[in-house]
């Protein structure tokens, strides 16, 4: 300890002693200023921005020992009585989704100097957002000078851009994320991670670690029951291989869990973990999935306890075959056959809030887990199985979530927290570092996808064959289901009489792949949509026309993926595809056959792609809702649904409010808590609006009937004669308040609904992109993106818009710069935000989103899923635009400047 430091935070004077290597970020959070968010810890993302003597700095790289005599302002100190103008502007323009970047964004924006939009984009280099695509943020900053106010109290809110109801807390820095509260006496976990890609553990010596003062426990494989499970959060029975263990005597990738230290501080836990001595028997390893299936002498899952693995000897975690087997007959009819292989990288979600959970025991013995999870109910089930606890003794709940994108449809932190809490009887927290996020969670599956298409001279597709080899990494979480979607959606999009798909998810000694927005369809879409343009070029047919000629039609049945009688399936509800094509081509003033524009070394072109994605999972994805009318005349909506930051909670409240004739403010929402809300499968597969929203819709309709029927009895009339207003039931001559109704009702006004969709209605999107390629450097500059989404009904257009812009920019990173690079051992070479390049505000093109609204017959108010589709077609549209601009086709993403340059000079 050093001499104490005296300083001020938000006007309050502190005198504190700190460890000499502490960052200002940690000090501020320890002092309770938790609006300062921990994300990258390297000064790259801006989420921890505060002012020191009015100058904005990244608090994560500010040495706390420099703080003596200085004055710090955090987001909590920005609003004195009312919101600062910049906070007000972010609230009005909704410059946030999950809100995790927002405090830092606001503290930066308040001090920005810029004279143009381009300068503003450049000035935002040090602030990363993964949700919004920056558009709403730029609008907020530009609007900060002009003040307007919008009423949030909208009647009939469905179809209106109701502000996200957590906005006020987000802009004030008071939104309560998982790390922002913990019980007293908290212990912390650090895990020893494998330095080897494949090894058996001969011996672990934990004595020195255990002897370190402040260490409460150390766990290795010898301390846990050997029960195979999957980290994937899926409904029971899970489709995934059961191949993961709490702690194992074998490690399967660099970063795999070896031992867990539980200590009084993170620093002590780290120190103790460095004292653990592990004797490894190094095993041969394989990082290439093609080698892994071809008798390479490496068997990654040779343990007898694991199950549901398709072929452990050949490292095949899962195999999916779809379609007809007379494919060659189709090719025999073809006038042209095109074949190509496409290479898709592993990319990371980079949700700004890391994985984190805190567990503790209540006095009655209930185990509580507060976690940043997309799947609290699946987590509860898995924990109860792993630790032999009755489900009702395990409570899992979430608070505000700072993004997930699929990586939190995974049980990664909760299991060891619970192990530690059950052993120590104390509260335990495990928060991942950014490096752990990059090296020890999940990626999107890297894939190589071979596509072969047979086509008639007039452009009619007669045969499509696809073979996808996916690298699922060391564990098979999501292995079968991701490759299923790689074939199912991109091929299912076209009416082609002969289609065949083979998908293999292959184990390698690399970080596991898992669920990621788009879920396999993203990879397949790049392959098929690239090939459609290649075919169009060879046949001399316009690529839009070729797609329109072959795309599925409203009454078509999607047979692919529906071979088994019990398979959940997709169908076409509403169909706005022609309008999507029309709107996008109009936006570009697209004239078929237009040549690229050439200006010396700069070449401009346009390209298009189309995609489809289901709305939730039919039959197996269920959502429960409990809706009550309370004694104060307001409604309480309990749902197990999870808002990962998208605004889904607001959309659900809009649906209920619309049916009940109130505003969203009249619907109190309690969500995502296994002990206090009904079951919901969770937030994945673009399901929340479509499935949980439908459950809310049904519950609200039933509640409305219940109120009207009871009011009719009280008012001695028929229900149809009664008008329900926000606070009264009104008949022709008389009226009664809702409070009065509640007090007169012997029973409570409560409706419980469980809903599972019988069918998953398909959402479509068409995207166009205009690019400029510098043929000397190979750099692609995306100038413009236009995306039309066949969304059914937009329950909240602004939220839908945000899903689209965020999805496009995520697709932009996939197309141009993002890739987890590995060496020969599978070690990730760029596990930091400085080297793994997310799009910044400067990289985002002009974006235009068109919501094509044709109500769907199945979704609530006609709504369909929108969470994932926006990501799928961006990379293909850009690749097609590059091909148009340069005549060169790139079959590997990201299309880095070097790859483009190589392709141009091949």
- Give the binding site for another protein (CB under 8 A): 2, 19-23, 26, 41-44, 46, 49, 55-58, 60-63, 65-66, 108, 112, 123, 125-127, 266-267, 270-271, 433, 776-777, 779, 816-817, 821, 829-830, 832, 834-835, 837, 839-840, 842-843, 896-898, 901-902
Q: Which two tokens stand for residue 775?
A: 């043929």
Beta carbon of residue 213, minimum distance to another protein (angstroms, whole number): 15
Q: How far is the CB of 840 from another protein (least distance, A)?
A: 5
- Of residues 538 and 601, the one with the C-beta less far from another protein: 601
Measured from the CB atom, the residue of 545 and 776 that comes closer to another protein is: 776
Cβ atoms of 85 and 133 within 8 Å: the answer is no
DSSP string, 393-404: GEEEE--B----
The dihedral region occupied by 159, where left means phi > 0, alpha psi between -120 and 50, and beta the remainder, is: left
Bridge partners of 571?
761
Report the nearest approach of another protein to the CB of residue 50 (Å): 9
500 phi/psi in degrees, rounded to 5: -145, 140
- Rounded CA-CA distance 240/257 in Å is 20
Nearer to another protein, 705 or 835 (CB): 835
For residues 527 and 520, give the distance between their C-alpha atoms in angstroms, rounded to a whole number. Answer: 11
What Cα–Cα distance (Å) separates residue 86 from each residue in 93, 94, 147, 152, 727?
10, 12, 10, 19, 35
- Rounded to an integer, what distance in angstroms lies between the CA atom of residue 258 and that of residue 193? 5
Question: Please, what is the minimum distance in Å from the beta carbon of residue 675 to another protein?
Answer: 35
Residue placing its CB nearer to another protein in the complex, 432 or 519: 432
Smallest Cα–Cα separation from 137: which of 112, 162, 166, 169? 112
Q: Give the distance from CA 796 to its chain's centroid.
A: 19
Cβ closer to another protein: 46 or 403?
A: 46
- Minimum CB separation from another protein for residue 812, in Å? 10
Residue nearer to another protein on the CB measure, 43 or 85: 43
Could you give the CA distance from residue 508 to residue 476 in angstroms, rounded to a whole number?
10
Helices (H) and strands (E) in the chain, counts: 24, 34
φ/ψ of residue 708, rounded to 5: -65, -40
Q: How far is the CB of 192 from another protein (least distance, A)?
A: 15
Question: Residue 327's closest CA among 319, 337, 317?
Answer: 337
Taking the complex as a whole, the smallest distance from the CB of residue 190 to another protein amounts, in Å, to: 11
Q: How many CB atoms lie within 10 A of CB 388?
A: 8
Residue (343 or 901) nearer to another protein, CB: 901
Q: Which is nearer to another protein, 761 or 874 (CB)?
A: 874
Return d(Cα 260, Cα 385) in angstroms, integer: 20
Distances (CA, A) of 333 to 327, 336, 549, 563: 10, 9, 18, 24
- Pick 62 or 484: Cβ nearer another protein: 62
Taking each helix axis from N to C terminus, what angle separates 479-492 and 521-539, rounded to the nearest 10 degrees?
Answer: 30
Q: Which is nearer to another protein, 782 or 863 (CB)?
A: 782
Shortest distance (Å) from residue 207 CB to another protein: 22
d(CA 440, CA 256): 7
Nearest-approach distance from CB 169 to another protein, in angstroms: 24
Q: Which residues pair with 797 in a beta bridge?
A: none
When the beta carbons of 303 and 774 are compared against another protein, the nearer one is 774
How many Cα atoms occupy the beta-carbon half-sphere of 74 within 13 Å?
A: 23
Residue 51: phi and psi, rounded to 5, are -105, 135
For residue 636, what are the β-bridge partners? Answer: 628, 668
- Separation CA 236–CA 343 (nearest Å): 33
Q: How far is the CB of 271 from another protein (least distance, A)?
A: 7
Using the minimum distance from each CB to another protein, give the nearer residue, 110 or 606. Answer: 110
Min dist. Cβ of residue 452 to another protein (A):
31
Residue number with CB closer to another protein (128 or 361): 128
CB closer to another protein out of 26 and 650:
26
Residue 267 beta carbon to another protein: minimum distance, rounded to whole angstroms: 4
Nearest distance in Å: CB 511, another protein: 16
First to last CA, the chain: 61
What Rg, from alpha-carbon coordinates, does the chain have? 27
Tokens of 51: 């002012």
Q: How many CA atoms lie within 13 A of 864 on its CB side?
A: 31
Q: Measured from the CB atom, is 332 or 829 closer to another protein? A: 829
How do 570-571 and 215-219 pair as beta strands? unpaired
Q: Could you tell me the smallest distance in angstroms from the CB atom of residue 23 to another protein?
A: 5
Structure tokens at 313: 């000897």
Q: How far is the CB of 2 from another protein (least distance, A)?
A: 6
In the complex, least distance from residue 824 CB atom to another protein, rounded to whole angstroms = 12
User: Cβ distance 490 to 531 under 8 Å?
Assistant: no
Smaller CB separation from another protein, 142 or 267: 267
Beta strands in 593-656 (DSSP E): 597-599, 602-613, 622-629, 635-639
Residue with smaller CB distance to another protein, 12 or 834: 834
DSSP structural state of residue 365: S
DSSP string, 323-342: E-S-HHHHHHT-SEEEEEEE
Cβ 821 to another protein shortest distance, Å = 5
> Is the separation of the CB atoms in 420 and 262 below 8 Å?
yes
- Rounded distance, CA 272 to CA 576, Å? 59
């Amino acid at each position: 300890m050093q001499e104490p430091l005296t300083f001020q935070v938000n006007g309050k004077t502190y005198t504190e002693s700190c460890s000499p290597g502490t960052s200002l970020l940690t000090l501020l959070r320890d002092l309770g200023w938790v609006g300062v968010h921990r994300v990258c810890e390297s000064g790259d993302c801006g989420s921890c921005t505060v002012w020191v003597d009015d100058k904005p700095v990244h608090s994560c790289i500010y040495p706390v020992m420099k703080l003596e005599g200085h004055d710090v302002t955090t987001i909590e100190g920005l609003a004195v009585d009312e919101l600062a103008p910049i906070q007000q502007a972010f609230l009005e323009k909704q410059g946030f989704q999950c809100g995790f970047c927002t405090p830092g964004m606001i503290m930066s924006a308040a001090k920005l100097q810029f004279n143009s939009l381009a300068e503003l984009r450049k000035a935002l280099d040090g602030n990363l957002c993964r949700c919004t695509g920056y558009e709403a943020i730029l609008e907020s900053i530009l609007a900060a000078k002009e003040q307007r106010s919008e009423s949030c109290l909208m009647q009939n809110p469905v179809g209106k851009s109701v502000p996200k109801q957590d906005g006020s807390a987000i802009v004030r820095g008071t939104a309560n994320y998982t790390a922002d509260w913990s019980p007293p006496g908290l212990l912390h976990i650090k895990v020893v991670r494998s330095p080897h890609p494949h090894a058996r553990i001969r011996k672990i010596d934990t004595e020195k670690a255990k002897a370190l003062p402040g260490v409460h426990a150390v766990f290795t494989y010898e301390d846990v029951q050997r029960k195979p499970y999957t980290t994937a959060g899926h409904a029971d029975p899970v489709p995934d291989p059961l191949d993961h263990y709490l702690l194992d005597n074998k490690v399967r990738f660099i970063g795999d869990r070896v031992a867990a230290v539980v200590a009084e501080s993170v620093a002590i836990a780290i120190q103790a973990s460095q004292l653990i001595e592990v004797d490894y028997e190094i095993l041969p390893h394989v990082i290439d999935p093609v080698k892994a299936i071809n008798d390479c002498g490496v068997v990654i899952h040779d343990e007898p306890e694991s199950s549901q693995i398709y072929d452990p000897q050949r490292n095949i975690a899962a195999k999916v075959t779809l379609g007809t087997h007379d494919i060659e007959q189709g090719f025999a009819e073809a006038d042209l056959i095109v074949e190509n292989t496409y290479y898709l990288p592993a990319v990371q979600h980079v949700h700004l809030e890391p994985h984190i959970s805190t567990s503790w025991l209540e006095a009655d013995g209930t185990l509580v887990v507060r976690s940043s999870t997309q799947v609290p109910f699946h987590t509860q089930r898995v924990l109860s199985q792993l630790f032999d606890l009755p489900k009702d003794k395990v409570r899992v709940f979430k608070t505000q979530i700072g993004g997930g994108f699929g990586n939190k449809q995974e049980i990664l932190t909760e299991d060891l927290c619970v192990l530690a809490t059950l052993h120590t009887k104390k509260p335990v927290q495990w928060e991942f570092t950014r490096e752990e996020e990059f090296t020890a969670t999940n990626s999107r599956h890297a894939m190589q996808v071979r596509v072969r298409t047979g086509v008639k001279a007039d452009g009619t597709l007669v045969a499509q064959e696809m073979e996808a080899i996916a690298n699922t990494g060391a564990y098979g979480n999501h292995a079968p289901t991701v490759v299923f979607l790689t074939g199912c959606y991109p091929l299912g999009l076209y009416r082609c009489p002969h289609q065949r798909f083979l998908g293999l998810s292959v184990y390698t000694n690399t970080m596991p792949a898992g669920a990621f927005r788009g879920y396999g369809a993203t990879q397949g879409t790049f392959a098929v949509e690239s090939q459609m343009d290649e075919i169009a070029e060879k046949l001399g047919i316009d690529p839009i026309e070729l797609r329109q000629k072959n795309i599925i039609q409203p009454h078509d049945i999607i047979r692919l993926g529906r071979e088994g009688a019990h398979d959940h399936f997709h169908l076409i509800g509403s169909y706005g595809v022609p309008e999507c094509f029309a709107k996008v081509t109009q936006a570009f003033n697209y004239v078929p056959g237009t040549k690229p524009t050439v200006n010396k070394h700069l070449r401009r072109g346009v390209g298009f792609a189309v995609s489809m994605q289901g709305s939730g999972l039919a039959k197996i994805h269920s959502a429960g809702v409990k809706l009550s009318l309370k004694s104060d005349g307001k409604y309480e909506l309990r749902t197990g649904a999870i808002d990962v930051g998208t605004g889904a909670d607001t959309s659900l409240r809009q649906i209920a409010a619309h049916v009940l004739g109130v505003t969203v403010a009249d619907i109190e929402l309690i969500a995502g808590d296994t002990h206090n809300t009904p079951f919901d499968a969770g937030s994945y597969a673009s399901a929340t609006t479509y499935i949980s929203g439908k459950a809310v819709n049904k519950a609200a309709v039933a509640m409305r009937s219940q109120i009207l029927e009871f009011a009719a009895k009280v008012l001695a009339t028929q229900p149809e004669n009664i008008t329900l207003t926000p606070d009264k039931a009104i008949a022709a001559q008389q009226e009664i308040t809702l409070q009065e109704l509640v007090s007169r009702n012997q029973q409570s006004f409560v409706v419980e609904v469980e809903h599972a969709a019988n069918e998953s209605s398909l959402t479509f999107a068409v995207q166009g992109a205009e690019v400029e390629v510098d043929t000397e450097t190979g750099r692609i500059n995306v100038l413009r993106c236009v995306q039309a989404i066949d969304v059914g009904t937009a329950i909240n257009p602004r939220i839908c818009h945000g899903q689209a812009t965020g999805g496009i920019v995520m697709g932009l990173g996939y197309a141009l710069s993002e890739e987890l690079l590995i060496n020969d051992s599978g070690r990730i070479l760029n596990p930091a935000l400085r080297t793994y390049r997310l799009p910044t505000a400067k990289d985002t093109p002009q974006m235009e989103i068109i919501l094509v609204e044709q109500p769907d017959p199945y979704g609530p108010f006609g709504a369909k899923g929108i969470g994932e589709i926006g990501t799928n077609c961006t990379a293909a549209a850009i690749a097609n635009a590059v091909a148009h601009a340069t005549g060169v086709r790139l079959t590997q993403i990201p299309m880095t400047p070097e790859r483009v340059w190589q392709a141009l000079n091949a």
